[in-house]
Amino acid sequence: MTELPSPSLRPGGPPSRSARRMMLVHAHPDDESINNGATMARYAAEGVHVTLVTCTLGERGEVIPPELAHLSGAALGQHRMGELAEAMRALGVDDFRLLGGAGRYSDSGMMGLPDNDDPGCFWQADVDQAAGLLAEVIREVRPQVLVTYDERGGYGHPDHIQAHRVAMRAVELAAGAGADEADGWDVPKVYWNRMPRPVAEAAFARLEDELSGLPFDKAGSIGDLPGVVSEVHVTTEVDGTAYAAAKAAAMRAHATQITVAEPYFVLSNALAQPLFTTEYYELVRGERSVGRESDLFAGVDTGVGAGEAS
């Protein structure tokens, strides 16, 4: 299934090198570094087995650097595969995969474009079929924690929405539905990426004050951020401040898509936005702790066999 470098995992059993295992499901290369780069770097440094599953190669992404503007379609996808590998080196993550293998599902483009109708794009994928592929990886890796987007995909991109649908269905399938129950894996905790509105408001206020000293001409707005919600929806915050440099390096690795000037960055729209090193989540599956969590594994028995379907 994997076309990218990854460690050898024991089929049908948990990776032997770590009792704590987490999986992230993202739509395109670069989404993981923007949304979860500090979290991934922190847990990788702590010895957690971090697995990234990326659903497309982002073949329809808009290229920023003029010297790379000739890249499009399959050529851009191949280039972005290399960017993903470099980003994962920066984060210390060596288990990263493409759903169904490289090229199985192509980038669907922004919502409402004719690209959405391409029969090979991820938006057109059969959800159960794609979820079945992901469920195989869940059963292999047996993560106690899975992170993905909310039902809007954070901001409405069709591939993000589809990644949410596929990830949530895969969790159901991996637990045993339609498979040998003995091989099932019931993921104890599932999180959606979130951004508390007060945190975003404060960060953009600082950006406005500092914009004149940045290599960017214009600031974005809260509406440019995915997953902004009221504080009540945020159950967990992961302090990745110590891994700010790793997150920035991973984002720089995605050079076709991102320009970084710490602690800010721009995408192809050239609108500056904050680079967050504390990352926020909403627990949507699993037992909630009292108060806000600071650890995605809070309350989880990370002994071998924890969470296995019976």
Residues annotated within the binding site for Zn(2+) are 28, 31, 160
The phi and psi torsions of 262 (rounded to 5 degrees) equal -50, 140
Q: Contact 275/247 with Cβ under 8 angstroms?
A: yes
- Residue numbers belonging to the annotated binding site: 28, 31, 160
Beta strands in 177-229 (DSSP E): 189-196, 218-219, 228-229
245: CB partners within 8 A, 6+ apart: none
Q: Biggest alpha carbon distance in the chain?
A: 60
Give CA–CA dist 84/5, Å, rounded. 11
Residue 253, H or E segment: helix 244-253
Give CA–CA dist 308/82, Å, rounded. 35
